[in-house]
Amino acid sequence: MALLEVDKVSKRFGGLQALNGVSFSVERGEILGIIGPNGAGKTTLFGVISGFTPPSSGDVRFDGRRIVGVSPDRLTRRGLIRSFQIVQTFAEMTALDVVTTAALTRRPIRQAVDYAAQVLTRVGLGSKLDDTPATLSLQDKKLLELAKCVATDPQCILLDEVMAGLTMAETEAPIAIIRELNRQGVTFVMVEHVMPVIMRLATRMVVINFGEKIAEASPDEIINDRRVIDAYFGEHLDA
Ligand SMILES: Nc1ncnc2c1ncn2[C@@H]1O[C@H](COP(=O)(O)OP(=O)(O)O)[C@@H](O)[C@H]1O
Ligand SMILES: [Mg+2]
């Protein structure tokens, strides 16, 4: 049985059909890549899966159970967590506070603090426990977002453009962390614009355009798919 099943999900915002009958499933241990142009509906899709955005119609199942209408908080406890595209933090909290809050999902406070420090060290932020997120570099903000997810001990992490804005060299650290977590059994669904990154990580790809799934295939097949090239890469690739 698939870990995550998205079944004919549609979402309408007023007159805008942000998602239209999107279906796909994610097997345990996979890294599913989701690509598509800006405004295609990728973040909306993550909102629906993670319980932040109620769908207009359709179903989502996680670990064998329907999850539409289940709060993000409960989904986190069931092992489904998402990162946010825009790094959101409270000004007065330190990196350790932020990750401790996530670690409280499954641990009492004293253990949560220790575990948060371990997770931060694991992502390479061990020397920045007391820094406030606002003072961190973009790369470190992204690593912090990853640490927040990891500290909840998830089965499945939804990553929304964690590599956006990073240089190719800066993507190496998050790539290594994602690979390592995946080896330990964590399933990933990644929305990513940085094609060389998603091509390296994804076991399978789904392409969304104007709220619809237009392709689903291996990374190699995807880059040779005319519809994908037209929709996603645009004319600059033809040149
Ligand atoms: N809360 C909202 N209210 C109204 N329109 C929205 C809302 N969220 C997203 N949209 C619209 O839905 C479409 C899909 O947006 P989004 O899911 O953010 O796309 P992507 O992440 O693929 O760039 C866009 O046209 C966007 O403006
Ligand atoms: Mg988005």
pLDDT by residue (tens digit) across 101-112? 999 999 999 999
Q: What are phi and psi of 63, to 5 degrees?
A: 55, 40
Q: Which atom of ligand 1 is nearest to the CA of 45?
A: 17
Contact predicate 140/128, CB 8 Å: yes
User: How close is the Cα of 38 to the center of ligand 2, in Å?
Assistant: 7
Is the per-residue pLDDT at 91 higher than 80? no
Beta carbons of 118 and 70 less than 8 angstroms apart = no
How many secondary structure helices (H) and strands (E) does the chain include? Answer: 10, 10
19-59 pLDDT, tens digit per residue, is 999 999 999 999 999 999 999 999 999 999 999 999 999 99
Domain 4-238 has CATH 3.40.50.300: yes
Considering all CA atoms of the chain, what is the largest pairwise distance in Å, rounded to the nearest integer? 57
The ligand minimizing its distance to the Cα of 161 is 2
Helix (H) or strand (E) holding 13: strand 4-13
Average pLDDT over residues 113-141: 95
Q: Mean per-residue pLDDT for 212-234? A: 83
Q: Is any atom of ligand 1 closer than 6 Å to the C-beta of 178? A: no
Q: Tokens 């973009």 correspond to what residue?
A: 138
- pTM, to two decimals: 0.93
Q: Where are the domains of the chain?
A: 4-238
Atom of ligand 1 nearest to the CA of 38: 23
pLDDT score at 143: 94
Q: Average model confidence (pLDDT) for the chain? A: 92
CA distance 194 to 9: 25
Nearest residue (by CA) to ligand 1, atom 8, is: 44
User: Residue 111 and residue 117: Cα distance in Å, rounded?
Assistant: 10
Least confident stretch, 37-46, 173-182, 194-203 = 194-203
Q: Whose CA is nearest to atom 25 of ligand 1?
A: 39
pLDDT score at 222: 86
Contacts of 69 (CB under 8 A, 6+ apart): 51, 54
What mean pLDDT do residues 121-149 have?
94
Q: Which residue of 22, 44, 85, 213 sits with most ligand 1 atoms within 8 Å of its CB, as the best mutation to test the pocket?
A: 44
User: Does residue 54 line the site of ligand 1, with CB under 6 A?
Assistant: no
- Cα of 112 from ligand 1 centre, angstroms: 35
Q: What's the 120 CA to ligand 2 centre distance in angstroms?
A: 26
